Chains A and B, each alone.
Chain A
């Protein structure tokens, strides 16, 4: 089989051929290694690609187990790449920051441990916004990720490298992380599928923290089936993460219902007013019509508190980030300023020189909202808002199984276009952050293209731990549509 034939396969198809001995694990790894290396200069997707020998060693070990008849998992033998904020032994985990440019973890994240045990082959680490702070994958020290659909455009963020690499067939599946939309929005911008799991479904052990109460690791792939297969492998309780409360892994099955009769879908109609691009609006509403045609009950409602979600999110996320990122102090690991002479200088200079603009903005914002005298006015109020948002969602899920919404108000914009306008950037998170504040699961699916031929994403939101329901609806949608099968132009 030709290398480009191998890379055009979905992860589950590839695993099927590997299992049937039609493709070797090493052959699959080789194909994606070269796709990753070729894609790197074009899309700036990979921060690090593993040495060939190292990958082959992993691949051969998996092959040996498969040959011995071991049932590893439905994705055994499939290559994978990880967002560069997920720790793996021996590979740098830079978080796209000068601060961690030379930092190599001494342990594997729980998700990585599980993937390795399931026979997936790690081939590299993917570009992102610095410390996952951003919505365009432009803030990292390694430069902007380029959207495979138009390399002048951003890939979205912060898991832009993961989404772009999947879109460009540089990797069949990838892990991203989602704190305020960081899986869903780049999936939307790059025309691929992704799942932001319920908070507590996937262990965060080994995910370099941005905002601990919001962060979740999740899968990104070309279709929802691949995402579901991957989520099955990484989800479920972990003794190393006290906030990972889901006892058993989420089940993976490949059944698709005949129709969606009985499924109650709600559409927040106030999401389709200010600021949303008309192409995005019509594509998403069109998707709603398709669900209706499949006998789902589709209904409209007003999403309350919408204007408070972005401010509440940025207060809470920044507060937690200011604390989480304090450990980068130039003492134990990471960047240390050469100019520093005193302890105070080590702290001040290392952090001033080691962090980028956006990260510093959020550290300062977070430190401010937690400082004495301001805590009640900002952090406490934001936490109260968060509780209200959570309660509102709970009420909504009395009436609906799924909330159908756009992922982002726009499609991918030009690199550099919004980077100096943080408020505009933050408002781009309006449809995604409430999901994190409430700890809910959501999937992001391609649902069309705008007039510039850039992909548009659809978001399905469910109640906590209702991933199965979301996945089933998403599978059905991908059965009756072909948006997810479209490949970026000029890419073979």
Chain B
């Protein structure tokens, strides 16, 4: 029997605000355990939460980017459960009145774009982390992450495949990076996705769904969707029933295991958070925030291909990062040569970023320096080899291109007399090659070219050398 896969996802994004959501502790990853804590985020008796306004701004901006309705008034609720990483034994979240609802995001996995509905975005706080101690059997709690602000983005069950889910997460990631609200590192857990999946027969009723958690990479998401689809299909094929449950993905073994089922599901005893008054968002605030939205990747891609004439594949790569897209635009504008600028970015720059393991959002390059290098190479003042070397020097050491090239004596030899001398010398020292060429052996030309370039220490424009070589060979006939 053939089934349709029905998937909805919940994405948790840790916001990159300076401080935590309800206190002034720094919001930073990787600090010494329990050094970024205070009475509020460690759940001390008598401490009270105070909402960080920056979190509200992040939520509204993401809501606007995803075409959501922004609530004029929303509330916080308590989700109660016991766990050692949850110091208050409740998480402040938004159940009844989330800040953003009813949005969508377009993805493209086939020729036709597809809209994925966003049910809601709500604000909540993260919990701490538990670590197994190296000695003994004790488990230790690190509360540095407790109170880190999170946005939970809940989609409609609009996905039909793992590829669609991945496309969605990639687009969402791109939007959050452009908004600069989340660093979106799945491995570090700053972006986490849970998958709700069920199967239904064509035109049939929706089947029982399961939720899969602990997906730390896009690859894991894809594999988990495939695994769960197959698992449920097998159960149904045997005439069985899928149990409603939460499952935990084990990426090493590429399987998932049940964590808890509906029968022993937790009752979170949600109720309105009495320590925080309702949150009001004015039209003026929404207007102001909507003006602060950046031009997003899909707009940039369209503009770059249509107006700047670069290839769709180059635009795709360049616009993955806002920082890189902005660098490209500055270099394209400065040099007036967008194709050359695109080649530079997608070639050497992204290669270097990859080699050095840098974050494309964080790198800071001087567009004017790259522009001047493009000018030099296109006007033949330097050749491609020197160009590449100088680009690296700018990238690694922020070198001044003119000074660097001058110092190393790498400017191209433009003097026709010098080129002619080099070519002539190459011919006279390799008479056999010259004879072969004249006899119609094209291959011999490369040898003469190589020799001539060698005499010029590689600094001449090869096109100019080639032209001169042809000319001199003709004269010699």
Instruction: Give residues in A with beta carbon < 8 Å to B.
Output: 85-87, 93, 95, 100, 103, 105-107, 109, 204-209, 211-213, 239-243, 245, 319-320, 322-323, 326-327, 329, 331-333, 343, 347, 367, 370-372, 375, 379
B45 in contact (CB, < 8 A): yes
Is the pair A327, B45 in contact by a Cβ cutoff of 8 Å? yes
Contact with A along B77-100 (1 / 0, CB 8 A): 010101010011110000000000
CB distance from B36 to the nearest CB of A (A): 15
Assuming the contacts A331-B141, A372-B267, asked whether A323 and B80 have C-beta atoms less than 8 A apart, the reply is: yes
Extra A-B contacts (7), CB below 8 Å, given A100-B45, A332-B43, A370-B271 = A206-B47, A212-B275, A242-B275, A243-B277, A329-B84, A343-B84, A372-B269
* Bound-complex Cα distance A205 to B42 (A): 15
Q: Using Cβ atoms and an 8 Å threshold, which residues of chain B touch A100? A: 45
Q: Is the CB of A331 within 8 A of B84?
A: yes
Q: Does any Cβ of A come within 8 Å of B54's Cβ?
A: no
Query: Is there contact, CB below 8 Å, between A327 and B43?
Result: yes
Assess A329 versus B89: contact at CB under 8 Å? Given A243-B275, A371-B267.
yes
List 12 contacting pairs A-B, 8 Å CB cutoff, sorted by A.
Answer: A208-B46, A209-B45, A211-B274, A212-B275, A240-B48, A241-B48, A242-B48, A242-B49, A327-B87, A329-B89, A370-B80, A371-B267
B476 on the interface (CB 8 Å rule)? Answer: no
How many B residues have CB within 8 A of the partner chain? 28
CB A30 to nearest CB in B, in angstroms, measures 30
Residue contact A103 to B45, C-beta cutoff 8 Å: yes
What residues of A have a CB within 8 angstroms of the CB of B90 in the complex? Answer: 323, 326
Contact between chains at B45 and A371 (CB < 8 Å): no
A212 touching B141 by the CB < 8 A rule?
A: no
CA distance A211 to B47 in the complex (A): 14
Q: From A208, A320, A370, give the contact of B45 (CB < 8 A).
A: A208
Known: A107-B39, A213-B274, A242-B275. A323 touches B78 (CB 8 A): yes
- Which of A107, A213, A242, A243 lies at the interface centre, i.e. has the most chain B CB atoms within 10 A of its CB? A242
Contact indicator A105/B51 (Cβ below 8 Å): no
> Is A371 a contact of B269 with CB atoms below 8 Å?
yes
Q: Do the beta carbons of B89 and A206 come within 8 Å of each other? A: no
Name the CB-closest residue of A to B139: A343
Smallest CB separation, A293 vs chain B (Å)? 42
A109 and B46 form a contact (CB under 8 A): yes
B44 within 8 A of A: yes
Cross-chain contact A206 with B46 (CB below 8 angstroms): yes
What are the 7 tightest A-B residue pairs by CB atom distance, in nearest-first order? A326-B89, A213-B274, A370-B269, A212-B274, A208-B45, A206-B46, A87-B46
In Å, the complex CA distance between A204 and B274 comes to: 12
Taking CB atoms, residues of chain B closer than 8 Å to A245 are 277
Chain B contacts with A in 240-280, Cβ cutoff 8 A:
267, 269-271, 274-277
A145, B269: Cα distance in complex, Å: 35
Complex Cα distance A331/B42, Å? 11
Residues facing A in B125-163 (CB within 8 A) are: 141
How far, in angstroms, from A105 to B277 measured CA to CA in the complex?
Answer: 26
The answer for the CA separation of A445 and B48 in the assembled complex, in Å, is 32
Minimum CB distance partner of B279 in chain A: A242
Instruction: Tell whether B72 is near chain A: CB-to-CB under 8 Å.
Output: no
Chain A neighbourhood of B351, CB < 8 A = none
A242, B277: Cβ atoms closer than 8 Å: yes
Chain B residue numbers with a CB within 8 Å of A326 are 80, 82, 88-90
A205: contacting residue among B46, B82, B87, B269, CB under 8 A: B46
Residue pair A209, B46 in contact (C-beta under 8 Å): yes
Query: Looking across the interface, which residue of chain A has its beta carbon closest to that of B89?
Result: A326
> Is B73 at the interface (CB under 8 A from chain A)?
no
In the complex, how many angstroms separate the beta carbon of A96 from the nearest chain B beta carbon?
13
Q: What is the chain B residue whose CB lies nearest that of A200?
A: B277
Question: Within 8 Å CB of A207, what residues of B?
Answer: 46
B454 at the interface (CB under 8 A from A): no
Pick from B82, B87, B274: contact of A320, CB under 8 Å: B274
Q: Nearest CB to that of A346 among chain B residues?
A: B84
Q: Given A326-B89, A347-B82, A367–B269 Cβ distance below 8 Å? A: yes
> In the complex, how many angstroms separate the beta carbon of A371 from the nearest chain B beta carbon?
5
Q: CA–CA, A95 to B90, complex, Å?
A: 21
Q: How far is the CA of A269 from the CA of B291 in the complex (A)?
A: 59
Bound Cα distance A203, B51 (Å) = 16
Contacts of B44 in A (CB 8 A): 105-107, 333
A240→B50 contact, CB < 8 A: yes
For the complex, what is the distance from the CA of A240 to the CA of B89, rounded to whole Å? 21
A106 and B47 alpha carbons, distance in the complex (Å): 11
Given contacts A323-B90, A323-B271, A327-B45, contact A239 B50 (CB under 8 A): yes
Give the complex CA separation of A323 and B275 in angstroms: 12
Residues of B contacting A332 in the complex (Cβ-Cβ under 8 angstroms):
42-43, 87, 141
- Chain B: CB-nearest residue to A325: B89
| CB closest chain-A residue, reference B143 | A332
B-side contacts of A213, CB under 8 Å: 274
Q: Hey, which chain A residues are within 8 Å of B276, CB to CB?
A: 242-243
Looking at the complex, which one of A239, A243, A327 makes contact with B88 (CB distance below 8 Å)? A327
Q: How far is the CB of A76 from chain B (nearest CB, A)?
A: 26
In the bound complex, what is the Cα–Cα distance between A209 and B49 (angstroms)? 13
CB contacts (< 8 Å) of B269 on chain A: these are: 322-323, 367, 370-372, 375
| Structural contact, B271 and A379, CB atoms closer than 8 A | yes
The docked-state distance in angstroms from the alpha carbon of A37 to that of B88 is 36
